[in-house]
Structure 1
């Protein structure tokens, strides 16, 4: 035996030992280790080229420091044969993918341009292009205020983008000068004359949204848009909504196939800080705007335009009141002007339109239904509805192939995170496409639970069970209430992932109580303005049903929720002591205080009268709370302002019925995030969030100490 052979064998043995050690250290599933969990890749959005040969998705992964996420664009094979292929790579990431008519891929990125100076400061997102013929991405256009969403016409070279402008700016140069002055003088002040002044987690103003057409700088050798010539002329943005003011705040927009019309929601002021969204059609050539739909009792948002460019699908949402729910319905409207014609008016679901069949015969939509979100076809003439997908999944980001045979979508459920699939629209058969990310192994199984509410209504829930749950070894139960409240536990959620808790031995109950979508209008009406009544009794009924199971330990239960789910956690705490611990994240506590301080108080005032708010306010029952509570809140949460968490925490300490807890003083805890918003999005804080929740539940439900993250300094 030669020395080289001995060295080779020794090296092979060391590699085998290293592999065995790594395997021993590797968690059973990614959900058993929070570092592994937050590092799982996450898919979002789909873009399909006009000829149907290219499909692009966005994949989000941890950055190099594991303190943030970055997103790259990947190409998928619509035929399902070739593996996924990464298209972009930059530390800043990429987003907003849209295919131009010629196949060029447009996207936005804050990566530095070729002539950028490294000043150590963040740069705003700019518009970039990847040529259809291949090659590196190149910068098309940058501006100090950045570039937002991108739309490209299917049958024309028209490209429209959204961008922010300072409200008083006369043109792009003036906007750049004003921004420079604010930056150089470090001015952050904003003078408001309207409402709202903030939204979710961002301060509004002094910038406002505008729509722009991308076009060449005028000149004798005007050569068109990206990819049409080898020598690309300089590009500029032409503002087609210069007088919009704040009308484009949180509104949707779609571009007609011929690029001639941009349909957009457009907010008109009603006085007293309130607005209503009408449907506006903007001529992309002239900037001329006319209102297509305007009703005193409804908001309108645009859906896709028919392949022949004559008709748009429209989403109408009735403006709610204390006795009226915000019903969502589809309709059709001619782009030339006309009435709103209801589409599938008798269908008792709240649909979201995705696209038309190429022959204009039907509209592809998704809608929540019984804990799923299937794909449906709605006949454009008769309004007849046909369910296409028959599985237990939720579909999103649906795009239709140019031949109308297939739709492509991201599919998820509580068994797997979003993955790309191809749907045969005739048969409903769904096939996975080669994906940039594999399905993670789960630490258990998924079942359903149903119960009868006190009024006889059927209430259903998903039940996530750890692998070890059995009649011989029953496991503790965690009731997890969804937010919204108009929503449903039907799709994978990275922020609210039950498998992290299942990996720690808990069964997790995910119920859809009154107010949940996917069960019809009457199911929503049961809880409208009655948050502490039917939603609460529904939750208790389905919990009662779950704890009857032999694989559930009825003596070890806890409850938690975020946003509206946090409200319900607070309400539960004041109305029953059946749970050993309760976690309340970003929760509503005192409804009289919440109403005037949330980011859109005008909406809240429509939902509940003062009497309703008082009858359903958890803070009035603080003296009945005898269950240890973990309060969690982010300071940048504008939807449920930090004052709710601060008041809840103080009143738990000063007025709740829970006795003191030895040297700790109280069994309650308050986890505060100064830099997070409604959801706690950064990976390092998400890890802390799950770890503290695990610690709190383990202490009170399991009677053991799991330890706290050392970064908390405790």
Structure 2
């Protein structure tokens, strides 16, 4: 249920909480943080094999407004009828996040993963089935380590039929059986699920959480790796089972160990095999990625693509006839050579490979086959957007199909007449759309297919301002572009203060809505927010990435300053009141900016890299960053070497569970700001710098009330140092 004033007051029960209840008079949700965190969010998309059912997930606040819970909703693919709710997750389960991993079977049933304890069962995520004919969902499979992912062979865009092709009299291959594969975490010494359950019980009862490692990595993003490891299981019914009984999980990767990792995999439409990335240790703390084929009947494993010093590989999508594999070949990076993905096709029968999109200067981020196997739809960042492209499987020709917006979760109707996707931009969060593909064959360069907005279970929020594009030219002649979000009141008579917001990555782009990095909350407070794509950003060609590779403090920094100069020259911008902020790599760049210029009134740095020689060995994937961060780069471009030049008040933000940029970076930054920065301290030893610390958050601030605190502290700090207001009163933080 969406957040409301009545429900907030009922759950809080205190006068202080009632004072922060949503302000019904606030003109947009971005003017009131309670209304903002209460906005529902859309994510994921699944299409039934017959093309008649489209399912997405909607996340909303629970009754206590302390976490988001996701339910599944069905959207009308024709756009005629309102969306309807399919599931409603258990409200009182510890750490419940609702339903996820929605997948259709070939029979049309809907599978999903959810924590719904029954009896004395624990709350480990299990596999649930919602029958095509309706009724209540029931649990079909569980694993003591919890089920993390599910795949079926109801591949989007694959038409499955029986009988004879019209007019030929020839029999078609029999329709494949519906196949389900799940990924779960298993203790390496457990021979079966009973041993698995007992092993976990012993560790829990004895309060043991120690892990003995024999390799690398040991952490990933926000969680420890081990002692359990990922395994893949075929979910199948026993011979004497009925439709309503639970499935049996048959382990097909009992010896996988850490090779599976948290990596990409795909299930063949014919239901007989899958392909997976396979992590291979190569010594000295490094690992490479191969691609393997796993037979579902026998578990036999075959290496399809073996990496070397030049290339690594990752599977993308198996073709509808199960005979070809689209894969990415990654050029392995060095301090002098940037990483680069290339799309290739592998013939699974002959082993022949070919480059599928030679000369296409973009990084593909998603792919789905057309039902007849003639081509694929892929997405890729381009010029501050992420369009859908058609990639011809025969000629390799690439054709852009859409104009505005960033598309994701693309699925294709079984007859190939339409595709469905989620579309977002900085003007609206993710919403479902239909792409008309009937004219695809006659579409020429520069054309686009019709895109229709479907009836979403989530409405577009009203914005507090307007969005425009800006660009400038860097000293080396490169074009630098950005989004600029302006408050409605910004004008020559009433210029707005400017907030430069630097994206993370670093190989990334500001091209679509983010709930974590929402400029409109600041716009509602009167700021103009600049979202630039400097060197290292995707969507402008490989050479634009190369401009900043291994030299983070050069072109990325000068690009940011150039686009800031250009925007400050606009009459609706107050160049005397500016601030800069960023997270992750954007935090690194904020730190770098602080040591290179004092042009900003305040700087906010979130989950930021501070000392590169400390970050490199302690992050969760040190071997990856070591390929780019030479000793010379660490010496030249580490922000901590310029701490004595920092004369700008800084707000440091970090979560203790951040393993990508470990908390040590934030702690060292905080201490060195106090002890070494060039900003004068008061006579009493106090400092204008601040440190916002989240003991239980990771690289992102995910829980609703912490997200609210994040925005409160950031906006309060900016108001004090940019607008000259009194320090904000923050009872939630100060106690």
Q: TM-score range by the shorter chain?
A: over 0.9
Partner in structure 2 of residue 99 of structure 1:
104
Structure 2: state its 5+ residue gaps.
1-20, 155-175, 441-447
1:242 Cα offset (Å): 0.9
Please tell me whether residue 170 in structure 1 is matched to residue 191 in structure 2.
yes
> TM-score when scaled to structure 2?
0.91
SS in 1 for 2:287: strand
SS in 1 for 2:477: coil
**1:140–1:235 Cα contact (<8 Å) kept:** yes
| Cα 1:283–1:337 shift into 2, 3 Å | farther
Aligned with residue 373 of structure 1, among 386, 389, 399:
386
Matches within 5 A, 1:207-356: 207-217=228-238, 219=239, 221=240, 231-296=243-308, 297-356=310-369
1:664 Cα offset (Å): 7.2
**2:47–2:54 Cα contact (<8 Å) kept:** yes
Per-residue CA deviation, residues 337-393 of structure 1 (Å, 9 max, x unaligned), is 5133111110000113421111111111000001000000000011000000112x1
Aligned with residue 117 of structure 1, among 106, 116, 120:
120
| Cα 1:482–1:585 shift into 2, 3 Å | same
Per-residue CA deviation, residues 430-482 of structure 1 (Å, 9 max, x unaligned), is 11111111000000000011011111100000000011101110000000000
Aligned with residue 626 of structure 2, among 598, 605, 614:
605
Distance 2:648 2:234 in 1: 57
Per-residue CA deviation, residues 235-255 of structure 1 (Å, 9 max, x unaligned), is 211111111110111211111
**2:230–2:262 Cα contact (<8 Å) kept:** no
Per-residue CA deviation, residues 167-211 of structure 1 (Å, 9 max, x unaligned), is 121122111110111111111111111111111110110110011
Please tell me whether residue 710 in structure 1 is matched to residue 713 in structure 2.
no
**1:74–1:436 Cα contact (<8 Å) kept:** yes
Distance 2:573 2:366 in 1: 40
Partner in structure 1 of residue 132 of structure 2:
132
SS in 2 for 1:25: coil
Please tell me whether residue 78 in structure 1 is matched to residue 83 in structure 2.
no
**1:293–1:339 Cα contact (<8 Å) kept:** no
> TM-score when scaled to structure 1?
0.93
SS in 1 for 2:692: strand
Aligned with residue 422 of structure 1, among 426, 434, 450:
434
Distance 2:682 2:525 in 1: 25
SS in 1 for 2:415: coil
SS in 1 for 2:278: strand
Distance 1:664 1:126 in 2: 55
**1:633–1:673 Cα contact (<8 Å) kept:** yes
Per-residue CA deviation, residues 262-305 of structure 1 (Å, 9 max, x unaligned), is 11101111011211111111111111110111130222221221
Partner in structure 1 of residue 15 of structure 2:
none
Q: How many residues align?
A: 678
| Cα 1:429–1:706 shift into 2, 3 Å | farther
Structure 1 stretch displaced more, 328-337 or 475-484: 328-337
Distance 2:23 2:201 in 1: 55
Distance 1:701 1:181 in 2: 56
Distance 1:280 1:614 in 2: 40
Matches within 5 A, 1:628-707: 628-661=649-682, 665-705=686-726, 707=728
SS in 2 for 1:543: helix
Matches within 5 A, 1:276-675: 276-296=288-308, 297-391=310-404, 393-425=405-437, 426=440, 428-661=449-682, 665-675=686-696
**1:315–1:352 Cα contact (<8 Å) kept:** no
SS in 1 for 2:641: helix
1:608 Cα offset (Å): 1.5
Partner in structure 2 of residue 59 of structure 1:
58
**1:481–1:510 Cα contact (<8 Å) kept:** yes
Partner in structure 1 of residue 12 of structure 2:
none
Structure 1: state its 5+ residue gaps.
1-21, 224-228
Distance 1:189 1:103 in 2: 43
SS in 2 for 1:290: strand
Per-residue CA deviation, residues 388-420 of structure 1 (Å, 9 max, x unaligned), is 0112x1000111111111110000000000001
Distance 1:279 1:23 in 2: 51
**2:143–2:184 Cα contact (<8 Å) kept:** no
**1:156–1:257 Cα contact (<8 Å) kept:** no
**2:373–2:393 Cα contact (<8 Å) kept:** yes
Partner in structure 2 of residue 49 of structure 1:
48
**1:692–1:708 Cα contact (<8 Å) kept:** no
SS in 2 for 1:103: coil
Distance 1:487 1:708 in 2: 36
Partner in structure 2 of residue 17 of structure 1:
none
**1:293–1:340 Cα contact (<8 Å) kept:** no
| Cα 1:663–1:37 shift into 2, 3 Å | farther
Distance 1:586 1:642 in 2: 8
Please tell me whether residue 190 in structure 1 is matched to residue 211 in structure 2.
yes
Per-residue CA deviation, residues 284-330 of structure 1 (Å, 9 max, x unaligned), is 11111101111302222212211111111112222211011110111
SS in 1 for 2:722: helix
**2:141–2:235 Cα contact (<8 Å) kept:** no
1:428 Cα offset (Å): 1.2
| Cα 1:397–1:664 shift into 2, 3 Å | farther
Distance 1:688 1:284 in 2: 48
Partner in structure 2 of residue 68 of structure 1:
67
Distance 2:504 2:352 in 1: 35
